[in-house]
Structure 1
Amino acid sequence: MSLTASTTVVIVPGLRDRVPDHWQTILADKIANARTIPPLTHDRLSRDAQISALDDVLSDISGPVVIVAHSAGVMTTAHWARRHSRPVNGALLAAPPDFDNPLPPGYPTPETLRENGWTPVPRTPLAFPSIVAASTNDPLAAFHRVADLARDWGSRLEELGPVGHLNPASGYGEWHQAQEFVRELSLGFV
């Protein structure tokens, strides 16, 4: 994958961390200069712990950065951006969940999300270019809710069609379009 030579791609997984067959893991393995936020060993559901882990990785990087976030990793990125001003060239924000509404069974409850600092979801414009990639049938967020987030963040919205939550459970492994979005962001074509 051709990026500017000095661009570092920072992978921000969701709350379920790095999954071997996930498109983010496959993408990270294809990019020479990729860094993945390490799994937290405690306070996994803590927004502040997730933000701190992202900031720790970003603080060790000099040069251009493109963030590639999925699911709750998108929310980590949005909360991080509200608190920090490190330079970021762009962000791919794929399949953000709707933390302002109840998630399906098996996911954190609204009370758990609130207690761990995830809500309310930031709605201020991001200080860097971004692409929100959204599914039309994501079980974790209605498309119109994700479109509202994209608008509020000042992001370009990319409708992906019916791709579920864009994860292995939805049939995604490799997601080739991610490479194109990352290339656009790294070259400043957003």
Structure 2
Amino acid sequence: MELVVARIGRAHGIKGEVTVEVRTDEPEVRLAPGAVLATDPPGTGPLTIETGRVHSGRLLLRFSGVADRSAAEALRNTLLIAEVDPQETPEDPEEYYDHQLIDLDVVTRDGTEVGRITEISHLPYQDLLVVARPGGGEVLIPFVHEIVPEIDLAEQRAVIDPPPGLLEEPPGVDGADGADGAEDGRR
């Protein structure tokens, strides 16, 4: 199974280093020196990580064969893809890989259908489950134990205990309440 583990950003310096936007919970494993990663678009890879370091809170990587700023800049916006065994699981039983969560049915504790997980959004302070609603639209669910107390991979479902208001449609979604600013003259 292939997983996107990072996106290459700007070139850093003149010796071929690039910044990367990390998209994996295990950068020390997936983005370690010696790792060989496929790319999207495919014509730019595979790329082998030569060195990695953190500078000012950003991960910088240098790839074999990328020796200068011009070559590094040519890789900008390239996605880095790791080959992962689909049976592989994190060491901590309370952690999950994104591919294990995608397509799980989401239900409340009382069995009410909420939708299906389509994406995991990794934010700096917490992860969010992006859940497609059966009637259209989506809801963002904080992926914390208090709200998502149970993940059942065998049953292919996530059980949630949503706080009040989490599953309600925000005001103005249908435009019926004047939330577009038309009533008070704002546009």
With the shorter chain as reference, the TM-score category is under 0.3
Report which of the two has the higher share of helix.
Answer: 1
Q: Which has the larger radius of gyration?
A: 2
Structure of greater relative contact order (alpha carbons < 8 Å, 6+ residues apart): 1
TM score, norm. by length of structure 1: 0.25
